[in-house]
C-alpha cells in the first residue's frame, strides 16, 4: 500500500488537495474516493509507522482547511494506535440511538460468540468514518457483558451517512450490523472501559483539531480583512481587534503546550485520560472563539454561505459534544478534583 509513511508526505498531499477540495467535501458530505486513496498512499492511515506525534501534527494541519478530513485520519489512527495495527481505515461504533452519554443503559447491540469469533447484531449512530472504513470497532453485549469486537466490512454491514451540519464529509453514519462477522479484540466484559480508553485518543485529537481550526479561521479572516482601512486606519491597528487576537494566541499557546506534554507522557507510559479530556475542552473553546472572532473581523462578508469560515465555525461547534459532551468531561475532571482537595 505504501513504502514508508512519513509526515512530510502526508502533509504534502493535504496541502495540495484540501484548499481546493474542502468546500466540495462539505457540500457533498463526502470525501471522493480518489482523495481517500491519495491520503492512503501517502501513509495517512499508517498511524503506527507515523508515530503518535506525527499523526496529531497531521490532524492539526488538515483541520486548517478540512476538519472533516482531519477527523477521518484522527479517528482511524485512534484505533490503530490503541491496538497497534495499521493500514486500515477504522470506524468507531459505540453510541446507539438512545444517546451517547449513558453508554451502558443504551447498549442493545449483541454479540453471539463462537470461540474468538462473534456474530454481531445491532444498530449504531454517530459511527465515525463509517462511509470509508473497512474495519469497524464495535461495542456489543457479549456473553460476559460489554465487549469490543472488530468487524470487517461486508454486505451485512449497512451504512447510511448522517446528514449533520457539522464535520460534513467525515463519514459519520448510522450503521446496522445484521449478523455481521467479527472477532473479539477486547477483554470480555470490559468493553465500556476499553471503549473509553480508545476515545481518549480521539479527545486529544479534538484538541488538535481545535488548534487547526483556530489557525485556519484566523488565516482566512486575517489575510482578507486585517489590512482593510476603516475610519482611516487598518483594521489590524485597532486595539480592540489586537486584543481579540491576543486572547486567542494566549489560550492556543497553552493548549499547544498541554497537548505536546500529553504526547510526551503518552509515549512514555500511556495517554493520561485527564490530559485528553482537558485538551478536548480547551480545543472546543479555542476553536469556537476563533471562528467567532474571525467572522467579527470579516463583518457581513463573513456570513457568505459555503465559505471556509462557515464550515470551520460549524465544525468547531461539535468539539463540545463529540467523544464526550462538555458536561460529562467536567464531571470526570471534577470528581478527581474533589478527591484531591476535600482532604482525608
Residue 136 neighbours by CB under 8 Å, 6+ apart: 90, 91, 93, 127, 130, 150, 151, 152, 153, 157, 175, 177, 182
Least distance in Å: CB of 319 to a second copy?
Answer: 12
CA distances from 297 to 136, 220, 270, 285 (A): 42, 10, 41, 18
Name which of 56 and 83 has its Cβ closer to a second copy. 56
CA torsion, ordered 217, 37, 136, 209, to nearest 10 deg: -10
Least distance in Å: CB of 285 to a second copy?
Answer: 9
Cell of residue 99, nine digits? 444517546
Name which of 144 and 242 has its Cβ closer to a second copy. 242
Name which of 111 and 208 has its Cβ closer to a second copy. 208
**End-to-end alpha-carbon separation of the chain, Å?**
57
Least distance in Å: CB of 327 to a second copy?
Answer: 6
Helix axes 191-225, 67-83, angle to 10 degrees: 150
Residue 181 neighbours by CB under 8 Å, 6+ apart: 117, 118, 119, 120, 151, 152, 154, 156
Least distance in Å: CB of 314 to a second copy?
Answer: 9
Name which of 47 and 208 has its Cβ closer to a second copy. 208
Name which of 155 and 343 has its Cβ closer to a second copy. 343
Name which of 2 and 292 has its Cβ closer to a second copy. 292
Least distance in Å: CB of 86 to a second copy?
Answer: 28
Cα gap 328→320, rounded to integer Å:
10
Cα gap 69→256, rounded to integer Å:
21
Least distance in Å: CB of 38 to a second copy?
Answer: 28
Amino acid at each position: 500500500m505504501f513504502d514508508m509513511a512519513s509526515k512530510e508526505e502526508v502533509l504534502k498531499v493535504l496541502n495540495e488537495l484540501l484548499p481546493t477540495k474542502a468546500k466540495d467535501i462539505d457540500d457533498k458530505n463526502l470525501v471522493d474516493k480518489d482523495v481517500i486513496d491519495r491520503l492512503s498512499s501517502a501513509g495517512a492511515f499508517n498511524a503506527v509507522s507515523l508515530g503518535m506525534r506525527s499523526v496529531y501534527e497531521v490532524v492539526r494541519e488538515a483541520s486548517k482547511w478540512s476538519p472533516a478530513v482531519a477527523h477521518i485520519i484522527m479517528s482511524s489512527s485512534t484505533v490503530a494506535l490503541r491496538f497497534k495495527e495499521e493500514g486500515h481505515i477504522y470506524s468507531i461504533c459505540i453510541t446507539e440511538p438512545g444517546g451517547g452519554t449513558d453508554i451502558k443503559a443504551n447498549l442493545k447491540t449483541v454479540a453471539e460468540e463462537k470461540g474468538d469469533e462473534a456474530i454481531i447484531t445491532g444498530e449504531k449512530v454517530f459511527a465515525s468514518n463509517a462511509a470509508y472504513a473497512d474495519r469497524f470497532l464495535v461495542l456489543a453485549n457479549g456473553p460476559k457483558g460489554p465487549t469490543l469486537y472488530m468487524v470487517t466490512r461486508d454486505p451485512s454491514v449497512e451504512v447510511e451517512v448522517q446528514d449533520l451540519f457539522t464535520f460534513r464529509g467525515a463519514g459519520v453514519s448510522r450503521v446496522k450490523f445484521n449478523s455481521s462477522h467479527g472477532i473479539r479484540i477486547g477483554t470480555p466484559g470490559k468493553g465500556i472501559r476499553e471503549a473509553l480508553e480508545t476515545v481518549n485518543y480521539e479527545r486529544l485529537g479534538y484538541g488538535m483539531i481545535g488548534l487547526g481550526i483556530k489557525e485556519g479561521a484566523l488565516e482566512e479572516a486575517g489575510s482578507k480583512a486585517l489590512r482593510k482601512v476603516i475610519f482611516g486606519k487598518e483594521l489590524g491597528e485597532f486595539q480592540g481587534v489586537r486584543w481579540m487576537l491576543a486572547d486567542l494566541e494566549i489560550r492556543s499557546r497553552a493548549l499547544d503546550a498541554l497537548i505536546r506534554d500529553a504526547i510526551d507522557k503518552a509515549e512514555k507510559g500511556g495517554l493520561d485520560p485527564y490530559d485528553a479530556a482537558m485538551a478536548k475542552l480547551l480545543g472546543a473553546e479555542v476553536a469556537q472563539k476563533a471562528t467567532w472572532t474571525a467572522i467579527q473581523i470579516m463583518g457581513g462578508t463573513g456570513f457568505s454561505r459555503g465559505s471556509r469560515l462557515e464550515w470551520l465555525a460549524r465544525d468547531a461547534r461539535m468539539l463540545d459534544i463529540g467523544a464526550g459532551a462538555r458536561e460529562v468531561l467536567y464531571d470526570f475532571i471534577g470528581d478527581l478534583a474533589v478527591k484531591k482537595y476535600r482532604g482525608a
